[in-house]
Amino acid sequence: MFIALILVEVECLRKYRREYLKIAELPSFVEISENARKKVEKVMEGFGLTSAVLLSGKTSFEVVGSKIYDKVSDKIIETFHVEKARMDEVRKIEFQIGYSDVDCVIGVGGGKVLDLGKVLASELNVAFISIPTVASHDGIASPVASFKEENRPVSISTNPPTAVLADLTILRKSPVRYLRSGYGDLISNITAIKDWILAKDKRDEEYSEVAASMAVMPASLMLTTANLDISNLKHLEMLIRGLILSGVSISLIGSSRPASGAEHKFSHAIDYLGYGNALHGEQVGIGAIIMEYLHQKHYGVGDWEKIKESLERVQAPTTAKEIGLSKDEILEALMFAKKIRRRRYTILEDVDPDRKEFELVVEKTGVA
Ligand SMILES: [Zn+2]
């Protein structure tokens, strides 16, 4: 009996080791405040960083990047304006910096800038300081970059940012559509975690309570916040904190599992099929309504109406029409979503809905 127990224990440990026993790299410094941008010099000094490459978008440089530059100009060896998040852009920058002794990449901007910064810093094996000017998804602190190659979306694993300076003064002035999208991405953790629990129960998939809590708790908190208004500084701070924790939960287990389930497959399908022009968070928000409905219908857990109402409250889109998609395109995307990453077990693999069931779901939820 005792030996059997030990054997079971060893077996568990072996599995544990295979899945998670690696050293998680996490951001070493995170600041969310109205003055976070001003900490860049302190952060560089703290980490002993002396020669940085500054990446920024054209507008983000004018508004914020130039001020960051002024603060640490003696430590910046070159500045680049990022237009596209693509591998050839990374190569171009690498070629231009040549054999300079770069020990840091600073990204000041939106998704494309931060994505490129993460990949560049990982390739150069140097520190990355993330200074988001918009917060449209959890990529501001995650170890994943979204690139577009030959018009197709690709996800690239990177090191997580060394430091994240989330400046509420900057983010508050960013276009509200991006914040609404960020809210959608955060809320989507609710269905992502339901999918993960389903995979744990049905497929014995390794599950991390800590990572799951980090991803889902801020989302649940915002879902139940009365008079939610993301232009309110307190609520904005909650949103940013949630997105950062979501990114860190991905770093913690080295997989996007805590923040990406069936609702993300749906969004990836839309991107892959090239439908519409919506933002990532807008698509996963709508995906979350649909997947929550399926969880509720088949397992009696969840409240899709609450998710929908909460998205409506921040004026994020909740219908196909609002993101420029037809009912047919939504159904196509849902059918295609079933073919994406089949090894990631979600409600789609579990229930395997056909087109008819999807049609019913999008009608019932008012998505299309
Ligand atoms: Zn996402």
In a domain, 18, yes or no: no
Final residue belonging to a domain, choices 174, 196, 229:
174
Q: Give the least confident one: 15-19, 39-43, 134-138, 358-362.
A: 15-19
Q: What is the spatial distance between Cα 69 and Cα 55, in angstroms, rounded to a whole number?
A: 10
* DSSP state letter for 23: P
Instruction: State the residue range of the domain holding 65.
Output: 29-174
Distance in Å, CA 246 to ligand 1 centroid: 9
Question: What is the per-residue pLDDT across 320-359, written as a single tens digit (0 to 9) for each?
Answer: 999 999 999 999 999 999 999 999 999 999 999 999 999 9
Indicate whether 187 and 159 sit together in one domain. no
At residue 22, the pLDDT reads 59
Final residue belonging to a domain, choices 123, 149, 174:
174
β-pair type (52-56, 104-109): parallel
* DSSP state letter for 126: -
Task: State the CB neighbour count (10 A cutoff) for residue 272.
Answer: 16
**pLDDT higher than threshold 90 for residue 19:** no
Span 156-178, average pLDDT? 96
Distance in Å, CA 247 to ligand 1 centroid: 9
Question: What is the per-residue pLDDT across 75-122, written as a single tens digit (0 to 9) for each?
Answer: 999 999 999 999 999 999 999 999 899 999 999 999 999 999 999 999
**pLDDT higher than threshold 90 for residue 183:** yes
For 175, residues 6+ apart whose C-beta sits below 8 A from its C-beta are 134
Indicate whether 97 and 194 sit together in one domain. no
Indicate whether 130 and 195 sit together in one domain. no
Span 46-53, average pLDDT? 97
Residue 338 near residue 348 (C-beta atoms within 8 A): yes
Q: Is 168 left (phi over 0), alpha (psi -120 to 50) or beta?
A: alpha
At residue 20, the pLDDT reads 53
> What is the CATH number for 138?
3.40.50.1970
Distance in Å, CA 319 to ligand 1 centroid: 18
Indicate whether 166 and 244 sit together in one domain. no
Counted residue by residue, the chain has a size of: 368
Distance in Å, CA 318 to ligand 1 centroid: 16
Confidence of residue 5 (pLDDT cuts 50, 70, 90): very low
Indicate whether 193 and 163 sit together in one domain. no
* End-to-end C-alpha distance for the chain, whole angstroms: 58
Indicate whether 211 and 260 sit together in one domain. yes
3-state SS, residue 84: coil
**pLDDT higher than threshold 90 for residue 144:** yes
Indicate whether 229 and 208 sit together in one domain. yes
Confidence of residue 3 (pLDDT cuts 50, 70, 90): very low
**pLDDT higher than threshold 60 for residue 15:** no
Distance in Å, CA 227 to ligand 1 centroid: 25
Indicate whether 111 and 188 sit together in one domain. no
Q: What is the pTM of this model?
A: 0.92
> What is the CATH number for 208?
1.20.1090.10
Distance in Å, CA 287 to ligand 1 centroid: 11
- What tokens does 211 get? 């990572």
At residue 148, the pLDDT reads 87
Phi, psi of 164 (to 5 degrees): -120, 120
Distance in Å, CA 138 to ligand 1 centroid: 6
Indicate whether 226 and 298 sit together in one domain. yes
Indicate whether 145 and 191 sit together in one domain. no
In a domain, 11, yes or no: no
Distance in Å, CA 71 to ligand 1 centroid: 32
Domain tally, the chain:
2
Distance in Å, CA 98 to ligand 1 centroid: 34
Span 220-233, average pLDDT? 93
Tell me what the pLDDT averaged over the chain comes to.
Answer: 93
Distance in Å, CA 132 to ligand 1 centroid: 16
